């Protein structure tokens, strides 16, 4: 279907069975619909549109949903090229699954179609090509700074990751051993959103990096991960959270990541002064967890702990107030919970059920709770209807 195709509103209001809270289902597609990866805002800065992925046309495309009316408009018309984000998502063609970010001051959504980086104007529906990567490089998730003028992402070895994806057809197939991923060479790219001028700011050999995030207010300070490790004391090979000073080329792990702890899903606070994370103790993965933040130099860590039976994993996000978090898994299975942080402890308050995903499930059905710009709404994805759709509830 072409750019500009209109879809009537699909939203409806539900009542959460556990808390009684009103939950709005925004999309109702039998295909996969899901919002942008959760550290990338999905709602435009003016609060008007939700930008999301949908496979309702038979291919992965980008769409906008007007939050007031519910009207949906197609933003892209992709070609049937590889779009899976292996090993995190599978079996999709078109716009690169989970890889998009809003930039250019909130006017455009940037997305990959194979090795092409493209921009779709959310308001006037125009399209432009930003750059084309070499065919031997596979792009990862995009991220933009607060102004939306600087984009960053990683690239991986196309041949290696294509080999892996052919071996592993679904998320429930066993992952290759860690040594497979350590064969990867990673580049970290920085792009000017307006001009498309791109530069390779770091190349890492035998190092699989992911989740490259530019500091919201300093384009030279980049946070990235050393992805994947066997989380046992005798096998933990590296620190997870790394920083790059692109002005000097200096890169290294954030100090203070002890070998007995694991860290995950790190991201910058909105003011760019803290690196936020969640994690746990390697020896107590099923019971003990923490969330919190550290200073970029690793001199000061603040952690809030919890003990939860049965599940020790979830995605955390920081509310715009800078002191409260939300999670989709730690407090209670199948729930979104507000996480109050005080006295080195987490206190959970269930907002609503999402009833979606297990750890091994495809990324496209992970709830990945994300906030509206003013912090008043929570966006999340759930596959409880049989396919992934997007939902919204109030924060307060």
304: confidence class by pLDDT, cuts 50, 70, 90:
very high
Structure token digits, residue 189: 């790219």
Mean pLDDT of 365-384: 96
96 domain-assigned: yes
Query: What percentage of the chain exceeds 70 in pLDDT?
Result: 93
Structural domain harbouring 69: 6-394
Helices marked H in the chain — which ranges? 158-167, 178-181
CB atoms within 10 A of CB 52: 26
Q: What is the mean pLDDT of the chain?
A: 92
The mean pLDDT of 307-319, rounded to a whole number, is 78
1-15 tens-digit pLDDT: 899 999 999 999 999
Please state the domain count of the chain.
1
Residue of 259, 266, 209 lying closest to 233 (CA atoms): 259
- Whether the pLDDT of residue 360 is over 80: the answer is no
What CA–CA distance (Å, rounded) separates 110 from 122?
10
Task: Retrieve residue 18's tokens.
Answer: 């556990």
Pairing verdict, β 22-25 and 12-15: antiparallel
Contact 238, 228 (CB under 8 A): no
Query: Is residue 1 in some structural domain?
Result: no
- Strand, helix or coil for residue 163: helix
31-55 confidence digits (pLDDT tens): 999 999 999 999 999 999 999 999 9
Strands across the sheet with 241-245, in order?
A: 209-215, 218-226, 241-245, 250-253
Domain assignment present for 76:
yes
Q: Is the pLDDT of residue 230 over 60?
A: no
pLDDT beyond 90 at 339: yes
Q: What pLDDT digit, counting tens, does each position of 170-205 carry?
A: 667 788 887 888 899 999 999 999 999 999 999 999
Alpha-carbon 289 to chain mean position: 20
* Residue 125 within a domain: yes
Judge whether 256 and 277 are in contact, CB under 8 Å. no
Please answer whether residues 74 and 61 qualify as being in contact, where contact means their C-beta atoms are separated by less than 8 angstroms: yes
Distance (Å, whole) CA 3 – CA 321 = 37
- Evaluate whether residue 283 is within a structural domain: yes
* 3-state SS string for 361-389: CCHHHCCCCEECCCCCEEEEEECCCCCCE
Any domain includes 266 = yes
What is the total residue count of the chain?
A: 396
Q: Which residue has the higher pLDDT, 307 or 6?
A: 6
Radius of gyration of the chain (CA): 20
Burial class from Cβ neighbours inside 10 Å (0-12, 13-18, 19+) for residue 69 reads: exposed
Contacts by 230-234, CB closer than 8 A, 24 or more apart: 230/178, 231/262, 231/282, 231/285, 232/282, 233/259, 233/260, 233/282, 233/283
Q: How far apart are CA 92 and CA 85, in angstroms?
A: 9
More confident position, 81 or 362: 81
Whether pLDDT at 286 is above 70 = no
The two tokens of residue 259 are: 């070998």
pLDDT at residue 346 is higher than 60: yes
Task: Look at residue 172 in the predicted model and tell me its pLDDT.
Answer: 72
CATH number where 149 lies: 2.130.10.10
Beta bridge pairs of residue 258: none
Q: 3-state class of 101 per DSSP? A: strand
pTM: 0.95
Instruction: With cut-offs at 50, 70 and 90, classify the pLDDT of residue 366.
Output: very high
pLDDT greater than 60 at residue 391:
yes
Q: What is the layout of strands, in order, in the sheet containing 261-268?
A: 261-268, 275-281, 288-294, 301-307, 345-353, 335-342, 324-327, 316-318
Structure tokens at 394: 């109030």
Tell me the average pLDDT across 355-368. 84
């Amino acid at each position: 279907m072409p750019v500009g195709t209109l879809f009537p509103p699909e939203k409806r209001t539900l009542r959460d069975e556990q808390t009684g809270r009103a939950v709005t289902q925004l999309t109702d597609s039998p295909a996969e619909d899901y919002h942008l990866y959760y550290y990338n805002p999905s709602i435009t800065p003016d609060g008007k549109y939700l930008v999301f992925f949908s496979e309702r046309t038979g291919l992965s495309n980008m769409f906008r949903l007007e939050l007031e009316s519910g009207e949906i408009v197609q933003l892209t018309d992709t070609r049937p090229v590889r779009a899976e984000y292996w090993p995190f998502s599978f079996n999709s063609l078109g716009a690169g699954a989970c890889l998009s970010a809003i930039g250019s001051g909130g006017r455009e959504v940037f997305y990959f179609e194979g090795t092409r980086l493209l921009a779709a104007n959310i308001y006037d529906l125009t399209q432009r090509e930003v750059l084309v990567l070499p065919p031997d490089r596979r792009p990862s998730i995009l991220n933009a700074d607060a102004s939306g003028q600087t984009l960053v992402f990683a690239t991986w070895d196309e041949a290696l990751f294509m080999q892996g994806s052919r071996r592993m057809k679904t998320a429930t197939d066993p992952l290759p051993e860690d040594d497979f991923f350590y064969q990867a060479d990673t580049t970290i790219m920085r792009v000017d959103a307006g001009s498309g001028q791109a530069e390779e700011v770091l190349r890492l050999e035998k190092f699989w990096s992911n989740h490259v995030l530019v500091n919201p207010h300093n384009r030279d300070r980049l946070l990235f991960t050393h992805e994947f490790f066997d989380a046992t004391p005798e096998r933990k090979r590296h620190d997870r959270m790394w920083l790059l000073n692109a002005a000097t080329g200096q890169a290294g792990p954030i100090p203070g990541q002890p070998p007995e702890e694991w860290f995950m899903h790190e991201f910058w606070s909105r003011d760019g002064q803290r690196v936020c994370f969640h994690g746990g103790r390697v020896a107590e993965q099923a019971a003990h967890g923490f969330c919190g933040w550290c200073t970029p130099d690793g001199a000061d860590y603040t952690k809030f702990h919890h003990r939860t039976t049965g599940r020790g994993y979830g995605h955390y996000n920081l509310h715009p107030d800078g002191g409260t978090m939300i999670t989709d898994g730690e407090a209670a299975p199948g729930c979104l919970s507000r996480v109050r942080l005080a006295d080195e402890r987490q206190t959970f308050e269930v907002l609503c059920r999402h009833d979606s995903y297990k750890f091994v499930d495809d990324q496209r059905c992970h709830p990945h709770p994300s906030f509206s710009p003013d912090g008043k709404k929570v966006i999340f994805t759930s596959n409880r209807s049989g396919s992934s759709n997007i939902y919204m509830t109030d924060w307060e």
